[in-house]
Chains A and B, each alone.
Chain A
Amino acid sequence: MVEILLDATVRAGTPILFATLGAIINERAGIINLGIEGLMLIGALSGFAATLASGSLLLGVFAAFAAAFAAGCIHAFICVQLRGNQIVSGLALTMFGIGVTALFGRGVVGQTIDGFERHAVPLLSQLPLVGKAFFQQDWLIYFSFLLVFKIWFFFYRTRWGLELRTIGENPAAADACGIQVNRYRFLAVACGSGFVGIGGAYLSLASTPMWIENMSAGRGWIAVALVIFASWSSFRALFGAYLFGGITAMQLRFQAMGTSVSAHILQMLPYVFTIIVLVISTLRLQKGASQQPGNLGQP
């Protein structure tokens, strides 16, 4: 029972994890990206369409990254080069993503593909309780573990990461140090967006191997809230994403067991929990020890 629930938790949390990691990369460079929801949809559709056309899941993941990367470039161009309003640009990106995927998704509605399959890691998958949930999963989930570590490594152990964090904190100082502020920011937004796209692709290639209009269903917004919960740290993002995966898994479990509580009420839980978590983490943030990039949202 616990094993099944844990497994469902990881699977439900992974798309949110990718999206949160992508959003963290954006915000570390000082750019708020409210287009996460739209980027997830763009990733989900292009990943699905590419896999459908080529039969290769790997190609699907690349297509999801590339499409979301391209869409992220629009946001990057407006926010970095044109110094436009980041909130409006992000909302526009979400609207654009919802609309464009609905338009181009018409052709692939109802088609199915063979989604990602599970591959057990030898030995580790035999661990009690956590074995099945963490080491008997598909490649994308293993990739998400790697990414969590990679992003931490990038920000805290490489020169580029340090420079990027400097830009997020104080672009003027970074500029004075001879860092190419605009170039870094642009790349951070575009790459972060690409990872969000992979999160979307997880929905259409692994969770339910098909395309459904508006299939992200607010997960992108949950990711935006989780960035604050995670204090812009990738390890905490992992924790937060699984927390929400867990709530979703339990909610589905309750529905399957046929409780007397309405399914509609149960479906509210992830959103209600997100708001509660957002409040708690905002409060904690103000108690000092803020990890928030100092220059977040400033054009």
Chain B
Amino acid sequence: MNLQFRVEKREQGGPLFRILAIIASILIALFVAGFLLLAAGVDPAAAYLEILREALGSSYGISETLVKTTPLIITGLAVSVAFRMQIWNIGAEGQLYMGACAATWVALFSGVQGSLTLPAMFVAAFIAGGLWASVAGLLRARWQVNEVIVTLLMNYIAILLTDYLIFGPWKNPDGFNFPITAQFSQAARFSEYFDSRLHSGFFLALFCALAIYLLMERTIWGFQVKAIGSNPAAARYAGMKTGLAIFLVLTLSGAIAGIAGFSEVAGLQHRLQHGLAPGYGYTAIIIAWLARRSALGVVIVSFLLGVLLVGGDSLQLSWQLPVAFAYAFQGLILFFLLASDFFINFRLRRITEETDG
């Protein structure tokens, strides 16, 4: 028999079908990653069990997962805001660093004290992240310069800038020459809960999700963004200022990512240091892609990936796996998700010789 397939467009599959596809993609990615682990000399079953146990098996584990989920939600929202307009913000990582730098400046060097400190750090981080992304926004809106490349290259610049600060002018004079800033005062720190590292940043993240939902689904501006994203020509014809919207959306996206930097230094690190964000900004792209247009979806997917990150950290300790392995896994999830999209949108019909001829 001749095995030939014809590709046909499928009727709308419905949200249930989509969720099933996402779960299936993650499972297949786990399966394939298992072979990679096996090849690297790690027992995949034991590794996966350990991920679950570490991330969800104890109240401490759950609190750690929520700690990791926090920056993921915020950066995920940041990327998804731009994504609504078919704009790719690959620079959440750098914007997060810039937000962290601005918040650190307020906490250590601005002279702001007392109850005003945290709000001032928030505003500074929001502005810094926004300004950083607005460069890409301006270039894209004004001259159609590819925002993927610009936002990505600016990550490298942002991280080098942070390094410059902590190795140079901001280095803690009492820090035994380590490249870190001085510790923040109590006024510049979030409160922590349940005797764990869980901090107010988590609630800030949830608040951001609500705010984005309201902004995008309940305001005219949110509607315009969506309209421009789905059909720029039609939107322009309807009198919408697409260039301005692109600029604003990328700036807003960066500003949100900046908040994640604020949350990390105020809630977790209490100082500025290297390796502040081990790739949250890149994981955020997956989160936004998986969650599509839903703010609630961002929260859920962030939690799932938070589990993986916490579990991955423990694998790093017990099997000396590199941190970057989490990337390989995330790449695999994306591959299978893209493949599943195909089966959601199209169906394969087998063409046999009889029907063919």
Chain A interface residues (CB < 8 Å from chain B): 34, 38, 74, 78, 82-85, 87-89, 91-100, 102-106, 213-214, 217-218, 221-222, 224-225, 228, 262, 264-265, 267-268, 271-272, 274-275, 278-279, 282-283, 286
B145 with A98: CB separation less than 8 A? no
Of chain B, the residue at the smallest CB distance from A37 is B152
A91 to B79, CA, bound (A): 14
A271 with B157: CB separation less than 8 A? yes
- Residue B321, interface by CB 8 Å: yes
Further contacts, 6 of them, CB under 8 A, given A95-B334, A98-B324: A84-B339, A91-B90, A106-B320, A264-B168, A268-B161, A278-B150
B320 with A264: CB separation less than 8 A? no
A267 to B88, CA, bound (A): 25
Contacts of A100 in B (CB 8 A): 36, 328
Contacts of A94 in B (CB 8 A): 331
B157 with A272: CB separation less than 8 A? yes
- Residue B144, interface by CB 8 Å: yes
Contacts of B146 in A (CB 8 A): 225, 228, 278, 282
- Please, how many residues of chain B have a CB less than 8 angstroms from a CB on the other chain? 46
B143 with A95: CB separation less than 8 A? no
A268 with B148: CB separation less than 8 A? no
A283 to B327, CA, bound (A): 35
- Residue B190, interface by CB 8 Å: no
- Residue B160, interface by CB 8 Å: yes
A54 to B144, CA, bound (A): 48
A38 to B154, CA, bound (A): 18
A84 with B40: CB separation less than 8 A? no
- A interface footprint on B80-104 (CB within 8 Å = 1, 0 otherwise): 0000000010100000000000000
B334 with A88: CB separation less than 8 A? yes
- Residue B207, interface by CB 8 Å: no
Contacts of A214 in B (CB 8 A): 324
A104 with B39: CB separation less than 8 A? yes
- A interface footprint on B261-284 (CB within 8 Å = 1, 0 otherwise): 000000000000000000000100
B328 with A99: CB separation less than 8 A? yes
Of chain B, the residue at the smallest CB distance from A98 is B327
A268 to B329, CA, bound (A): 30
Of chain B, the residue at the smallest CB distance from A78 is B338
Contacts of A228 in B (CB 8 A): 146
A221-B153, A282-B144 known; A103 and B321 CB under 8 Å? yes
B285 with A96: CB separation less than 8 A? no
- Residue B221, interface by CB 8 Å: no
Of chain A, the residue at the smallest CB distance from B149 is A225
B322 with A274: CB separation less than 8 A? no
Contacts of B148 in A (CB 8 A): 34, 87
- Residue B223, interface by CB 8 Å: no
A96-B335, A262-B164, A262-B168 known; A279 and B39 CB under 8 Å? no
- A interface footprint on B322-357 (CB within 8 Å = 1, 0 otherwise): 111111111110110011011000000000000000
B289, B323, B325, B335 pick with most chain A CB within 10 angstroms: B335
Contact of A268 among B160, B282, B322 (CB under 8 A): B160
- A interface footprint on B52-76 (CB within 8 Å = 1, 0 otherwise): 0000000000000000000000000
Contact of A103 among B145, B154, B322 (CB under 8 A): B322
A87 to B86, CA, bound (A): 11
- Residue B156, interface by CB 8 Å: yes
Can you sample 16 A-B contacts with CB below 8 Å? A82-B342, A87-B88, A92-B334, A95-B331, A96-B327, A96-B328, A99-B325, A102-B325, A102-B327, A103-B322, A264-B164, A264-B168, A265-B160, A271-B160, A278-B149, A282-B143
Of chain B, the residue at the smallest CB distance from A96 is B331
Contacts of A221 in B (CB 8 A): 149, 152-153
B88, B161, B164, B342 pick with most chain A CB within 10 angstroms: B164
A282 with B145: CB separation less than 8 A? yes
- Min distance, Cβ B351 to any Cβ of chain A, angstroms: 16
- Min distance, Cβ A185 to any Cβ of chain B, angstroms: 16
Contacts of A74 in B (CB 8 A): 335
- Residue B217, interface by CB 8 Å: no
Of chain A, the residue at the smallest CB distance from B282 is A95
Contact of A95 among B88, B144, B156, B330 (CB under 8 A): B330
A228-B146, A282-B146 known; A92 and B342 CB under 8 Å? no
- Residue B184, interface by CB 8 Å: no
- Min distance, Cβ B149 to any Cβ of chain A, angstroms: 5
B321 with A92: CB separation less than 8 A? no
A85 with B36: CB separation less than 8 A? no
Of chain A, the residue at the smallest CB distance from B323 is A102
A26 to B342, CA, bound (A): 22
- Min distance, Cβ B132 to any Cβ of chain A, angstroms: 12
Contacts of A91 in B (CB 8 A): 90, 282, 285, 334
- Min distance, Cβ B150 to any Cβ of chain A, angstroms: 6
- Min distance, Cβ B177 to any Cβ of chain A, angstroms: 16
